[in-house]
Amino acid sequence: MTDGYLIRRGQVLDGSGAPAVEADVRVKGQTISEIGPALASDGEEVVEASGLLVVPGLIDLHVHVFSGAGQWSIDPDRAGLSSGVTTVVDTGTSGALTYENFHRFVIAQAQEDVFALLNISIIGCLLGHPDIEPVMGELSESRYCHVASAVECIRRHPDRAIGMKVRLTDELADERPENEQAAFRGALDAAGQTGTFLMVHHNHSNVPTDQLLDALRPGDIFTHLYHPQRDSPFEAADHGPSDALLRAKDRGVAFDLGHGAGSFTWTTAEPACQKHGFWPDTISTDIHRFNANGPVHDMATTMTKMLYLGMPLPAVIRASTHRAAEAIRMGDQFGLLKHGRQADITLLRLEEGSFDLYDVRGMVRNARQRLVPVSVFKGGQKHACQARETVGPSPTTWSTPSDATR
């Protein structure tokens, strides 16, 4: 049994957005006990981190890990520790009718910290893939959107069910605008009654984009920021942010990357970021069964795409750690490398070379750097990360422009 760890000579990025500094990090038990230069060993196992980035445990606030239930989910470890992520938020895979099993058989068994945003639909997003029969979404029946059940479920599990989720896509509502409107109103109502926040997937929806953005409250989260559909929050002409998007940003709405298999294109992200400076507040994968082998792969690959677009490395780390923790109202628990904090730590390698990065339409960009997870500490316990093959299947099999539900 080790007497803790001394992570030595790494480039420490503490999650605050500050530049990297060379330092050592001492881990005792489940806690970060000291951070500083040239720390003397006190019987710990030494982890040589020279040439590596030492960052807070990565937080992916948009995943689907209700494994064994429905079409979408993967195991928590595939989204979590094996890829350098210590905390994940499952966004809407479970609803009030299915959450108990998610809590008992997945959340309670996972080595990662797993939290849930409850789908306003009582069944959660178990179905809805456009290529798998029966094509049936969770909003196909308006009675599924049962506010009282959602409120009761969150009040029963406030430690893990931390907010609400709604997926607004016309196909998921059998092309019935009234079902989407009822789901959006109900999700806002449930979040308000429970004092939590709402994450909105709005992609090929009949709910007008400006109406939705103007209804979101400070602390709510708009995910799939750079999706390419007709209801993008960026203007069609020059891909600049709409007035409603800017109003929501000023009001304190958080904007999340939410890559997915249909929600990130270079043609949207490049002008939004590089021309207009509209960067995501948080970086997340929306990883699930249909994109884990490409184009998403893992959190580090998604972070690499933002690095390629020109987001500074400290900002990329902050958006994947402390800012993500703040977005889920857990900034006092996760997301910073700091004395006394839980020892959730990720070691990354910033590799130099030539790396192809695909968007959801198979368009490729070549990057000169990429982030690769090396190892991770969760609550002071060390785990190895798994190398991923980031080429994956033919990009043409990942998605088509109309696949908004992905």
- 236 and 360 within one domain: no
- 379 and 313 within one domain: no
Give the chain's residues under pLDDT 70. Answer: 1-2, 389-406
- 344 and 301 within one domain: no
pLDDT in tens, 304-362: 999 999 999 999 999 999 999 999 999 999 999 999 999 999 999 999 999 999 999 99
- 251 and 139 within one domain: yes
pLDDT at 397 (0 to 100):
45
What is the count of structural domains for the chain?
2
pLDDT at 405 (0 to 100):
52
pLDDT at 391 (0 to 100):
52
Residue 394 lies in a domain: no
- 231 and 133 within one domain: yes
Residue 221 lies in a domain: yes
- 165 and 46 within one domain: no
CATH of the domain at 172: 3.20.20.140
pLDDT at 401 (0 to 100):
33
Residue 395 lies in a domain: no
- 148 and 231 within one domain: yes
- 15 and 114 within one domain: no
pLDDT at 388 (0 to 100):
74
- 373 and 258 within one domain: no
pTM of the entire predicted model: 0.96
Residue 210 lies in a domain: yes
- 306 and 198 within one domain: yes
pLDDT at 133 (0 to 100):
86
SS3 for the chain is CCCCEEEEEEEECCCCCCCCEEEEEEEECCEEEEEECCCCCCCCEEEECCCCEEEECEEEEEECCCCCCCCCCCCHHHHCHHHCEEEEEEEEEEECCCHHHHHHHHHCCCCCEEEEEEECECCCCCCCCCCCCCCCCCCCCHHHECHHHHHHHHHHCCCCEEEEEEEECHHHHCCCHHHHHHHHHHHHHHHHHHCCEEEEEECCCCCCHHHHHHHCCCCCEECCCCCCCCCCCECCCCCCECHHHHHHHHHCCEEECCCCCCCCCHHHHHHHHHHCCCCCCECCCCECCCCCCCCCCCHHHHHHHHHHHCCCHHHHHHHCCHHHHHHCCCCCCCCCCCCCCECCEEEEEEEEEEEEEECCCCCEEEEEEEEEEEEEEECCEEEECCCCCCCCCCHHHCCCCCCCCC
CATH of the domain at 363: 2.30.40.10
- 377 and 266 within one domain: no
pLDDT at 383 (0 to 100):
97
Residue 392 lies in a domain: no
Q: Which domain holds residue 150?
A: 58-327
